[in-house]
Amino acid sequence: MTIRPVLRYPDRRLASPARPVTDFDDALRELALDLLDTMRAAPGIGITAPHIGVPLRVVVLELDAEAGPQTYVNPEITWTSPEMILHRGGSVSMPGINDEVQRHARVRISYQDLDGNMHAEESEGLRAVCHQHEIDQLDGMFWIQRLSRLKGERLIKKFEKMSRSSQAG
């Protein structure tokens, strides 16, 4: 279990689609534990393997400390509700920046667990938003691409300014 460095936007690796996991082994379990430690240290409620420079389709979410973390391997959205909701989005790769993003209110996903067993899950609200956000990241779509061009450019400028002032200090 290790806290790994998180890639910062606009690292080009964040724009590359992740590869499906084919080996369900100890290395995958170790990656999932590293993702959990890294996400908690960030802090965040969701993280993907691409966030730490590993181009594999692995997501770890922890939305509720009591329920504990959930690992999704090779997740895919199989259904989306027509109803949409606005939810404040952000990323461990762009700390300090967030904005309202429109997402489906409910989704159904299929995924594998760390042993390769297939599962399906239907979610709503925050969990549905997180599923969509992290699967977008696995597909190489950074969350600000869901915003208008003007809003996205404004947030990028703000992040660049924040990054420069934190490096200068």
Whether 134 is a known active-site residue: answer yes
Contact 89, 133 (CB under 8 A): yes
- Token pair of 18, please? 């992740």
Which residue among the candidates 62, 66, 100, 134 is catalytic per the annotation? 134
Tokens 């992040």 — which residue? 159
- Ramachandran category for residue 99: left, alpha or beta (phi over 0 → left; psi -120 to 50 → alpha): beta
Helix runs in 5-148, H state only = 26-41, 125-138
First to last CA, the chain: 31
Closest CA to 121 of 107, 139, 103: 107
Contact 36, 48 (CB under 8 A): no
Catalytic residues: 134
